[in-house]
Amino acid sequence: MIDQKILSKIYLGAVLPTMEALSIEDPEASSYAAQWNGRIRIAVGFTGPRCDIAFKDSRVEVESGGRGRSNVYLFFPTTKMLNALFTGKGLSIPIPLKGFTRLKGLKVFSLLAKRMEKVLDGGAAPEKIMARITMDIMVRTLAIIAGDDPELHPLAQKLHGKMEFRIKNGHAAYVDFTGGRPKSIVGTLERPDCLFEFATDDIFLKVAEDKVDVLAEASLLNISLKGDLHMAQVVNIFLDKIGAYLPQKEVAK
């Protein structure tokens, strides 16, 4: 059973930030982002998850929390309505509390969202970009469900340390389980407590798509698993759960 509130957090906190990377790495997305400067807030209910999408000089930043001034304010009365925006299933009509005359901003957001969907569907971006955004979605989702999912949270509380996912000579991101809420961070560590390193973008994407025998690839040295392997075992349970929250296309096709 998927908790719709957690799913909303994943969409706003893990999937939507893909726009950031696309505005930098993907020329088409960058050209859309360049068409408007401003800030769009998305909020679910009065106490639900929210975020701001800031457009500035062809770059996009997605900030969770939604504080300060925004030019456009899209209010989704329920998590289900917000989630429907991403899944395309069910009714998804936000209430424009503010800025509904800022058609330019809404148009740019819509163009970017369509581009993001196309990229996430696969085939529209180079493998390197796919690997980067997939890893970021995976790690951000991992941190969210480790903190919020009632089955996973007790397991996450027993973990102590930082687990890094890294593509050899490429992108890296990690989850910090050192205390309090698990946090996802893009970047690499000198000595993570547990390291999951993939020889190539392709191997990583296949792991993300659940199309590879991870332990076999580890034995063949295409994947390196070092450090706290107990943490790796637990995180593996979390990774399996990501598939339950996100339909395959949100991770990669």
Partner 1 sequence: MSDYILKKSFELMARAVRVIPQGTYGHFTPAFAVPGSYPYYFSKAKGSHFWDVDGNEYIDYMCAYGPMILGYANDKIDDAYRKQASLGSCCSVVSDLSVDLAERITRTIDGADWVMFAKNGADTTSMAIMLARGYKKRTKIVLAEGGYHGTQPWSGSNSVGINPSDRTDIVMVPWGDLNAFKEVIAIHKDQIAGAMFTPYHHPAFEDQKLPESSFWPAMRRICDENDIMLIIDDVRAGWRLDLKGSAHYFGIRPDMACFSKAMANGYPISMLVGTEKLRITTSKAYLTGSFWMNTPEMAATLVCLDEMERINVTKVVKELGEALMKGLVDLAAVHGLKVSISGPPSIPFMKFANETNSLRSQLFCGECAKRGVFFHPHHNWFLSAAHTMEDINKSLEVADTGFKIVKKNFGG
Distance CA 162, CA 175 (A): 6
Distance CA 119, CA 197 (A): 24
Parallel, antiparallel, or unpaired for β 223-227 and 194-198? antiparallel
Residue positions counted in the chain: 253
CB of 183 to partner 1, least distance (A): 18
Residue 138 tokens read as 């995976």
CB of 79 to partner 1, least distance (A): 25
Q: Please check whether residue 246 is in contact with residue 192, taking contact to mean a CB–CB distance below 8 angstroms.
A: no
Residues 125-184 binding partner 1 (CB under 8 A) are 160-161
Among 115, 228, 246, 250, binds partner 1 (CB under 8 A): 228
Among 2, 97, 103, 237, binds partner 1 (CB under 8 A): 237
Q: Smaller CB distance to partner 1: residue 115 or 162?
A: 162
97 scored as a contact of partner 1 (CB under 8 A): no
**Of the ranges 27-35, 87-95, 97-105, 229-237, which one interacts with partner 1 (CB under 8 A)?**
229-237
Q: Smaller CB distance to partner 1: residue 80 or 166?
A: 166
Distance CA 106, CA 52 (A): 13
Among 128, 213, 249, 253, binds partner 1 (CB under 8 A): 213
DSSP-H helix ranges across 17-102: 18-25, 27-33, 79-87
219 scored as a contact of partner 1 (CB under 8 A): yes
The three-state secondary structure class of 49 is coil
240 scored as a contact of partner 1 (CB under 8 A): yes
Helix axes of 103-121 and 127-148: crossing angle, nearest 10 degrees: 100
Name the residues that contact partner 1, by CB under 8 A.
Answer: 160-161, 191, 193-194, 213-221, 224-231, 236-237, 240
